[in-house]
Amino acid sequence: MKGSSADATHPDGPPGAGKGTQAKVIATHFHIPAISTGDIFRANVAGKTPLGVEAQRYMDAGEYVPDQVTNAMVRDRLNLQDAEGGFLLDGYPRTLAQVQELDSMLDDLDSSLDAVVVLTAELDELVQRLLQRAHVEGRADDTEEVIRRRQQVYAEQTEPLIAVYRERGLLVEVDGMGEIDAVTHRIFDSLEQPA
């Protein structure tokens, strides 16, 4: 990872690629908060806040929460004090509109991204992982039908972001298959490579 005043990095990848787990490990290592849009939405759903009520119907259907709602939430979060020394975004941005809005937020904060981590995985394996997680955690958005829809939404709306960040020289592609620890090692090895 490049040294800069604000380390900002975010892991992305298709649903079920284990990005939440890896995000927490990376953030702990760099002593920065892991900001997961999925976790924030789920906390709001659990707390029955107006944001949660609005977000839930999209999440349950495997759709993305509208950009305006998501962007406002991330902007607020990045303005909190604990993000001043850097942060890791997990699950954001996921659309081209979010990329543009994030650029504007970072400009306002006089910050920039150091790296964009994308975890790659095979579709069959992903679906198996998601079904397993549904079994363990009982997430409403982990039924087989919703899983299929989420994969489709990812392919349509998020996959194109990979090319955008590759073009900017920020992309770090890591094989997300295999044991959690093995993937963690690959991520750290990749981040230490000079750009």
Q: Which of 42, 77, 129, 150 is catalytic?
A: 150
Length of the chain: 195
User: Looking at beta carbons only, is 55 or 172 nearer to ligand ADP?
Assistant: 55
- How many residues bind ligand ADP (CB under 6 A)? The answer is 17
Does 64 contact ligand ADP by CB under 6 A? yes
| Residue 130 · residue 62 · CB < 8 Å | no
9 vs 37, beta carbon nearer ligand ADP: 37
Task: Return the number of the residue (87 or 92) whose C-beta is nearest ligand ADP.
Answer: 92
By C-beta, is 115 or 147 nearer to ligand ADP? 147
The one catalytic residue in 19, 42, 77, 129 is 19
Q: Counting contacts by CB under 6 A, is residue 15 touching ligand ADP?
A: yes
133 is known as an active-site residue: yes
74 touches 64 (CB < 8 A): no
> How many Cα atoms occupy the beta-carbon half-sphere of 154 within 13 Å?
20
d(CA 184, CA 190): 10
Beta strands in the chain (DSSP E): 7-12, 34-36, 86-90, 115-120, 171-175
79-98: contacts with ligand ADP (CB under 6 A)? 91-92, 94, 98
Asked if 65 interacts with ligand ADP (CB under 6 A), we say yes
Q: Which stretch binds ligand ADP (CB under 6 A): 44-52, 58-66, 165-173, 177-185?
A: 58-66
Rounded (to 5) percent helix, strand, coil in the chain: 60, 15, 30
